[in-house]
Amino acid sequence: MKRVYLDNAATTPMLPEVVEVMVATMQSTFGNPSSTHAFGRSAKAVIENARKNIAKHLHCTTSEIVFTSGGTEADNFILKNAVNHLGVQHIITSPLEHHAVLHTVDFLAAKGTQISYVNTLNDGTIDYQHLEDLLSKSTQKTLISLMHVNNEIGTILDLPKVIALKQQYNALFHSDTVQSIGHFPLNLADINIDFITAAAHKFHGPKGIGFAFFRKGTGIHPEILGGEQERGSRAGTENTAAIVGMEKALSICVQHMEDDVAHLKNLKEYFISKFISKVPTAKFNGVSGDVHQSTHTVINIQFDKDLPMLLFQLDMKGIAVSGGSACQSGSNKGSHVLQSFLNDEAQQNTSLRVSFSKLTSKEEVDYFVEEIVGLV
pLDDT (mean) for 114-136: 98
Domain boundaries, the chain: 4-12+257-374, 16-251
pLDDT above 50 for 318: yes
Superfamily of domain 4-12+257-374: Aspartate Aminotransferase, domain 1 (3.90.1150.10)
- 331 has a pLDDT exceeding 60: no
pLDDT reported for residue 346: 80
Please state the pTM of the whole predicted model.
0.95
Residue 332 pLDDT class (50, 70, 90 cuts): low
- Quick one: pLDDT band at residue 30, thresholds 50, 70, 90? very high
Digit-coded pLDDT (tens) for 211-220 = 999 999 998 9
Partners of residue 149 on adjacent β-strands: 156
Mean pLDDT of the 179-188 span: 98
User: Does residue 3 have a pLDDT over 70?
Assistant: yes
Query: Is the predicted pLDDT of residue 339 greater than 60, yes or no?
Result: yes
Regarding the domain delimited by 16-251, which CATH topology (the fold level of the hierarchy) does it fall under?
A: Aspartate Aminotransferase; domain 2 (3.40.640)
Do 260 and 295 form a contact (C-beta atoms < 8 A)?
no
Tell which residue, 202, 215, 234, has the closest CA to residue 55: 215
DSSP state of 117: E
Helix, strand, coil abundance in the chain, percent, nearest 5:
40, 15, 45
Contact 246, 51 (CB under 8 A): no
- Mean pLDDT of all residues in 288-307: 93
Active site residues: 327
- Note the helical H segments in the chain: 16-28, 38-58, 71-85, 99-110, 128-137, 159-168, 240-255, 257-278, 310-316, 336-339, 344-347, 362-373
pLDDT band at residue 325 under the 50/70/90 scheme: very low
Residue 360: pLDDT band by 50, 70, 90 thresholds?
very high
What does the angle CA 196 – CA 200 – CA 205 come to, to the nearest 5 degrees?
A: 160
